[in-house]
Amino acid sequence: MAIELNDRGPDFEPRALAMARAIYDPSGIQGAVNVLGQERDAVFISDRSIVAFEFTTRGDKEKVRKDAEKLRDLLRHLSGQAEHRLKSTQGLVVTMREPSADQRDAVAKVAAAAAMQLQIISYVTLQKSLIDSEAYIALRLQAPFGSASFGTPPQLTGYARGRARADQPNYVEPRFVDVADGRSVGAVRLDELVDALAAGGRLTVSADYGSGKSEALRQAFARLRSRFFKRPDAERIPVHLNLRDFYGLRTPREVLRRHAEEIGFQNEDSLVAAWRSGNCTLLLDGFDELIPARWVGGARDLKQVRWSALEPVRRLIQETPDVSGIVAAGRAQYFNDADELLKSLGLQGGRHFALLDFNTDQASELLGRDAADLPEWLPPRPLLLRFLADNGLLSAAGEPNTERNSAWHAILDLVAEREAQRVGSLTPTTIRTLIARVATTTKASADPNGAVSVTDMRGVFREVCGYEADEEGLQLLLRLPGLASAEGGEAESRRFIDLDLADASYGLDLSGFLMAPYGAHPLAGPVAWTSASGDLSAGVAAVELADRGFGGGSLLGALSKRLDHALFDAVLLDTVRTVDYMGLDSGTELTPFFSELLIRSLDLSGDAKVLATATFSDCVIESVSVDSLTYDVFPKFQNCIIGRVDGWVDMPEILAGNFAGTEIGHFVARLTTTDALVDLDLAVEDRVALLILKKVYLQPGSGRMIAALYRGMPLTDRGAVSPVTAQLVAAGLLGRVTGRGRDLVVPIKAHRKAVTEMLSDPQLFTLSGAVAMVTGQ
């Protein structure tokens, strides 16, 4: 809770004394004295003047009259001394609230009778003589607040670019977790953090990229501003600093003067004085954005590098009066652990909060949509959610106007562009390539969690950029999006905590190999890892290749090269999946062979034409998704272990030979098999609609290519696929995605429950009933 000075009068005098000292004695030597047997609240004597103070919280006339008389007697005594006879004198009675007319009259009478300069002023008036707080706050609102102004147009957030507003209607309250000894000990709201700051608390806030750290500090500034203007006598001036502006500075004075210069506040010394007097609350954004010195040593030396980079911040915090609240925010991954974070900032003993990703309710509130209308793959970070909405990657119904792969491809462009704004020497394209290559490097890591050392990351930088990482390059590596510090071991290391970002980034690097399979790319030769990537990697690679104008020739060349060199590895599987994503039909001439791979999921129910010709030997596969039994070809599994098969109730006799020596944990029927639906006694249009909805809603993936809808259909029914699909799209049961050479239909999340219920009783299904369910007609 903030200190209410009207309820706790003793707190008023120290603050008022600090303010007076900042104005009249910046060196902090003078203050309260005993003269003529009485204690005087404050006396400041310079070469030319004597200024004396009495501070009072009482609102009655008699008290200020007595204070004025004390000042009169004190000033007469001091001015009568030989060394002070030529100095001007002034006495000030400072009240906590605005003085009443009676109080002003009482002091004026004492002053007139004594023929002395005695005045009564409020604490706020004293404060204004130190710093024009209104001017500072007004100018601060016009300047950027870290990265909070990036990609947040007014129509979405209600902000003018870079401005803070406490009444922002679309701001979604974040969730913070109070972290103690590495444990989460309870969630708190932003207002609770603001209360702690106003009461002089020392806090740190950490989170990964795009989680809303800068936005949270901007909101905290807005709320502290509102509190200050309501109670300037009880609250402190909020001062928000973008730490990345302070590279090369050393002292707090230099930091505050640079800040004043950045926002156009002319009276720099008054800001320094207000800070030293304990009348400011500091909000420090981006402790990970101070560029460190060049690193030429080992991993242990990185702590010293970061310690040196944060010297101006640490000194600013250490020299801030204890009564002033401080919060410092940034990416936790910049440090090796939370203990180093707090020590480097000089905030040992302070409270450490982690900013959590958005949950479904927060995402729906931010986007102004029902949670059921949001795509299942939606990323959990407000920056990415806003980006998808702002760039038309979410339709009015909430489903993607493009499938997940294209959305993540666009997100990677955003992430790279955002980082490039802070690293002037590297282009967004280079940064995107760096992130992609680091994702590949984590796959080759011997660490079970995919950790990669910072030394190896420097090697990636040298490989991509052609020179050793300089100061900005090192800073970029230490705060690379999606990574976190990997605890354990002696060497500093990082690992991806955002698995979708890792898979999408690796997909970009995979596309680089596929565009030049005979070059010097790290994926061109054998690889050390056996765990295959997910479908997202291949999907993003396909989007990148289509954007670059590459077709099937180069991909089939990469596939043939690996087969010719007996590279039956995870990269071969990634290549085959990419070929299938791009809709290429290689016929049966290529027969991929995979050996001793760990595969999370294998989707054989969609567009897996090349994959359908493959042979898997001695592989461990968590799940295999299948559709019908009408494939022209079907993969062979030799001595494999498969956790489950989705889509079959049992092993079809006709395919038993394709699973030689293979152990299957169990089968999971997805309501009913395609073959069972084909045998239903339904009208052709109803049966085709039922099969299409099953393919799109119940099978893995974010959509189905139009061509894949024909698979498993009886020849007599295939003529109805196109008109029935068009009818389902027109009714809003399916979304249509086109572009980049792809033509897909995607599910509408808002209708998933209803469609699932219809599929659970397929004998009663009708196309007209499904359409009526959506349109109400």
pLDDT exceeds cutoff 60 at 719: yes
What pLDDT was estimated at residue 627? 67
Based on the domain organization, do 82 and 212 belong to the same domain?
A: no
User: Widest CA span of the chain, in angstroms?
Assistant: 118
What pLDDT was estimated at residue 109? 93
What pLDDT was estimated at residue 2? 34
Residue 316 lies in a domain: yes
pLDDT exceeds cutoff 80 at 490: no
Burial of 181 (0-12, 13-18, 19+ CB in 10 A): exposed
Residue 388 lies in a domain: no
What pLDDT was estimated at residue 298? 56
113-127, 213-227, 442-456: least confidently modelled range = 442-456
What pLDDT was estimated at residue 585? 56
Burial of 397 (0-12, 13-18, 19+ CB in 10 A): middle
pLDDT category of residue 599 using cuts at 50, 70 and 90 = very high
Stretch 447-471: mean pLDDT: 87
Residues 335-374 have pLDDT tens digits of: 888 888 889 899 888 889 988 888 888 888 888 777 666 7
CA distance 285 to 30: 35
Based on the domain organization, do 228 and 125 belong to the same domain?
A: no
CA distance 728 to 717: 16
CA distance 94 to 545: 72
Residue 564 lies in a domain: no
Domain containing 195 equals 173-355
pLDDT category of residue 721 using cuts at 50, 70 and 90 = confident
pLDDT category of residue 154 using cuts at 50, 70 and 90 = very low
Based on the domain organization, do 108 and 180 belong to the same domain?
A: no
Most confident of 26-40, 272-286, 299-313: 272-286
C-alpha to C-alpha distances, 624 to 531, 605, 644, nearest whole angstrom: 16, 9, 6
CA distance 256 to 423: 23
Tell me which amino acid residue 639 is.
Answer: N
CA distance 506 to 440: 6
Residue written as token pair 């997100």: 411
Residues 251-295 have pLDDT tens digits of: 999 999 999 999 999 888 899 999 988 889 999 999 988 877 665
pLDDT category of residue 635 using cuts at 50, 70 and 90 = very high
pLDDT exceeds cutoff 70 at 673: no
Residue 308 lies in a domain: yes
Residue 628 lies in a domain: no
Based on the domain organization, do 106 and 184 belong to the same domain?
A: no
What pLDDT was estimated at residue 683? 86
Strands 615-617 and 593-595: parallel
Based on the domain organization, do 65 and 125 belong to the same domain?
A: yes
Based on the domain organization, do 229 and 316 belong to the same domain?
A: yes
Based on the domain organization, do 198 and 298 belong to the same domain?
A: yes
Residue 603 lies in a domain: no
Residue 341 lies in a domain: yes
Domain boundary among 309, 334, 355: 355
Greater pLDDT, 15 or 51: 51
pLDDT exceeds cutoff 80 at 701: no
- CATH classification at residue 236: 3.40.50.300
Stretch 64-84: mean pLDDT: 90
Based on the domain organization, do 92 and 210 belong to the same domain?
A: no
pLDDT exceeds cutoff 70 at 662: yes
For 113, residues 6+ apart whose C-beta sits below 8 A from its C-beta are none
Based on the domain organization, do 209 and 344 belong to the same domain?
A: yes
Based on the domain organization, do 181 and 297 belong to the same domain?
A: yes
**Average pLDDT across the chain, whole number:** 82
72-81, 280-289, 366-375, 688-697: least confidently modelled range = 366-375
- When divided into structural domains, the chain yields a total of 3
The percent of residues in the chain predicted with pLDDT above 70, rounded, is 86
pLDDT category of residue 463 using cuts at 50, 70 and 90 = very high
Residues 1-10 have pLDDT tens digits of: 333 333 444 5
Residues 728-751 have pLDDT tens digits of: 888 888 888 776 556 778 887 777
Residue written as token pair 């809709």: 583
Domain boundary among 290, 321, 355: 355
pLDDT exceeds cutoff 80 at 161: no
C-alpha to C-alpha distances, 770 to 398, 736, 765, nearest whole angstrom: 20, 18, 8
Greater pLDDT, 734 or 433: 433
* 390 within 8 A of 384, measured Cβ to Cβ: no
- CATH classification at residue 719: 1.10.10.10
- CATH classification at residue 92: 3.40.1350.10
Q: How many residues does the chain have?
A: 777
Residue 48 lies in a domain: yes
> Helix, strand, or coil here: 52?
strand
pTM of the model: 0.77
What pLDDT was estimated at residue 4? 36
What pLDDT was estimated at residue 584? 65
Strands 88-95 and 49-56: parallel
Residues 496-546 have pLDDT tens digits of: 888 889 999 999 999 999 998 888 899 988 998 888 888 889 989 989 998
pLDDT category of residue 93 using cuts at 50, 70 and 90 = very high
Domain boundary among 320, 335, 355: 355
Based on the domain organization, do 96 and 28 belong to the same domain?
A: yes
- Strands of 286-330, DSSP E: 326-330
C-alpha to C-alpha distances, 140 to 164, 278, 324, 568, nearest whole angstrom: 9, 19, 19, 59
Greater pLDDT, 259 or 39: 259
Phi, psi angles (nearest 5°) of residue 643: -65, -50
Based on the domain organization, do 229 and 322 belong to the same domain?
A: yes
Alpha carbons within 13 angstroms on the beta-carbon side of residue 612 total 23
CA distance 431 to 671: 46
